[in-house]
Amino acid sequence: MALLLIPASMLLAQDEKMNNNAAPPPIVKPSRDFLMLQFTYNNWLKKPDSIKTKPFGYGFNGYLCYDFPIKKTRLSFAAGLGISASVVYLNQQRIINTDTGALGAEARFAPDPVDTNYKRYKFVTTYLTAPFELRYFGNPQNRNKGFKAAIGLQVGTLLGAHTKALTSVSGTNVKLKDNTKRYLSPWDFAATARIGWGNFSLFASYNLTNVFKENAGPTITPGSAGICITGL
């Protein structure tokens, strides 16, 4: 029986042709609309020594963003819109939002009333916020995997603010709520940064504006840090 001998060069050429005809690995293109959720620890980083806050404050930011890739690089620019809320607890203090007294039209921090022992006193602010970010992603095939980082700026406009105190009257818990944003800055600007892997990142922000308007309250600068869940 005769054997058919095929030159090795022909086999290599055939294998190379088959490899060239093989479909390239699929590229998973990221969605340019996505939701960004941030769960944060909040507090006032700069404040007068006379203002006392408890160590635990918290916040939540939720944004719907749109991503703009920068040509064929691993960078992109993103902008969005959403809501950000912050809660800070005072320590045996309250905020007086009246115009009475020698200081005039200014929010003032004072000790708890002598006849009232507040169990809890918190200061809550809510903003309509637009985040802007310059982003880097390490996995060009799928941005939901691999290393990622971003720096940016958040611009917010004040929607509402209130204080809420919890006290006890004759053994019954009573909540005292005061809604006012008269003394607060109408705009909020904050520098942001985050770094992470996959859909989870560590997030931090530092405010560039004060909580209160000029001459309407003490100089207070907020900051936050926490976890961000998103798909770049």
Domain that holds residue 135: 30-229
Q: Is residue 16 part of a domain?
A: no
Taking only Cα atoms into account, the Rg of the chain, rounded to an integer number of angstroms, comes to 28
Q: Is residue 21 part of a domain?
A: no
CA separation for the pair 55, 44 (Å, rounded): 10
* pTM value surpassing 0.85: no
pLDDT of residue 1: 47
Q: Is residue 15 part of a domain?
A: no
2: amino acid identity, one letter = A
Q: Is residue 13 part of a domain?
A: no
What are the φ and ψ backbone dihedral angles of 14, each rounded to 5 degrees? -65, -40
Q: Is residue 6 part of a domain?
A: no
pLDDT of residue 9: 57
Q: Is residue 20 part of a domain?
A: no
Q: How many domains, the chain?
A: 1
Q: Is residue 115 part of a domain?
A: yes
Q: Is residue 4 part of a domain?
A: no
Position of tokens 């809890």? 120
pLDDT digit string (tens) for the chain, length 232 residues: 454 455 555 545 555 555 555 555 555 555 566 899 999 999 999 999 999 999 889 999 999 999 888 888 899 999 999 999 999 999 989 998 765 555 557 888 988 876 667 888 999 999 999 999 999 998 877 777 889 999 999 999 999 999 998 887 777 778 888 888 889 999 999 999 999 998 899 999 999 999 999 889 999 999 999 999 987 5
How many CB atoms neighbour CB 15 within 10 A?
10
How many angstroms separate the Cα of 18 from the Cα of each of 7, 11, 21?
17, 11, 5
Query: What CATH code is carried by the domain that includes residue 40?
Result: 2.40.160
